[in-house]
Amino acid sequence: MLNIIGSIVSFLGVVTFIFVIWFMKREGEDERGDKIIGQAGMVGFVSFLIGYNIIFITNIIYGLNGEQYTFALACLLALVLIAYGGTIFFLKKKY
């Protein structure tokens, strides 16, 4: 079950990564793009800090095994990419 969920979340992360790279190449070089990338970076950074603290506290309380911890970190990476890409997507429409 973890493999299926991990595969789906990782696939969404890869799609978001491709979108972010596409945005940076096409629209990220002007002032508007810099502003969008900067705000998205702040959202991605905050989501990373919150997600990592949740994983860290969960590991202390429940003692995750190696597979669970690896799954949590993979989900964290994908969700940070999704938060970054989603912020770019919404700010692109806003500005």
In whole angstroms, give the CA distance from residue 25 to residue 20. 9
Give the pLDDT of residue 89.
Answer: 92
Interval 20-48: pLDDT, tens: 999 988 887 888 888 999 999 999 999 99
Interval 40-70: pLDDT, tens: 999 999 999 999 999 999 999 998 898 889 8
Q: What is the pTM of this model?
A: 0.85
What crossing angle do the helices spanning 31-62 and 2-26 adopt, rounded to 10°?
160
Q: Is the pLDDT of residue 2 over 80?
A: no
